[in-house]
Amino acid sequence: GAVVSQHPSWVICKSGTSVKIECRSLDFQATTMFWYRQFPKQSLMLMATSNEGSKATYEQGVEKDKFLINHASLTLSTLTVTSAHPEDSSFYICSAVGDYQYNEQFFGPGTRLTVL
Amino acid sequence: SQQGEEDPQALSIQEGENATMNCSYKTSINNLQWYRQNSGRGLVHLILIRSNEREKHSGRLRVTLDTSKKSSSLLITASRAADTASYFCAKETSGSRLTFGEGTQLTVNP
């Protein structure tokens, strides 16, 4: 089956620093990737939709200058949390859609971000 | 809420019993998907049911979809302790966008 990886799996950083999270589709080309955020004991909230070669589409309430998304190739999308603050601490999950029936999304294992 | 609702929020059963989780939604959908998530881990795709389907089976899982009531249910039969996890329904609308429900925390006691 299709595999999506994320790197790093966890990261701890100081307040004010920027953190980059990578999402890769390992065995298929992903025309679209999605970024979700999940706070403890809550559901996944879609942050943005990333299409290769174009600007990401952000959901209402998500600051595009705070969460920079780059989808430079058909196998890689990156999310950069700029000037991170403790309230940005969360579980960030990406998913990728390839050329499969029903446009099934394949999810990465997630990245746990802790901002001190 | 854009997410719709899932119930129950939490469910605790004994091994061998069946577990039923429900999901409702508000807008029209292309399909509805069920996912499982173990604590602190990624999502595992369980079943996708299309809007023109009414029931689907996969092993011990049975999913139903009632588009007139805008609801779906996930039934896990003969539950096992290893089924303990959070279960989410996700509604796919346009452009492959998924809207997740609040989730049900299932605990299966040995």
CA angle, B44 then B23 then B48, to 5°: 40
Q: For residue B2, is pLDDT > 60?
A: no
Q: What is the pLDDT of residues B73-90, one digit of tens each?
A: 999 999 999 999 999 999
Q: How confident is the model at residue A102, as a pLDDT?
A: 57
Q: Which residue in A49, A97, A107 is closest to B43 by CB distance? A: A107
Q: Which residues of B75-109 are buried (b: 16+ CB within 10 A; e: fewer)?
A: ebeebeeebbbbbbbbbbeeebbbbbbbbbbbebe
- Work out the pLDDT band at B1, boundaries 50, 70, 90: very low
DSSP class of residue A88? Answer: G
3-state secondary structure of A20: strand
Residues of A in contact with B50 (CB under 8 A): 102
- Give how far the C-alpha of residue A17 lies from the chain's centroid of Cα atoms, to the nearest Å: 18
Residues of B in contact with A109 (CB under 8 A): 41-42
Interface contact flag, B95 A49, Cβ < 8 Å: yes
Q: Which range is least confidently modeled, A24-28, B1-5, B59-63, B88-92?
A: B1-5
Mean pLDDT of chain A: 92
Q: How confident is the model at residue A105, as a pLDDT?
A: 85
Q: What is the pLDDT of residues A82-116, one digit of tens each?
A: 999 999 999 999 999 876 655 678 899 999 999 99
Residues of B in contact with A49 (CB under 8 A): 95, 97
3-state secondary structure of A87: helix
Q: How confident is the model at residue A53, as a pLDDT?
A: 81
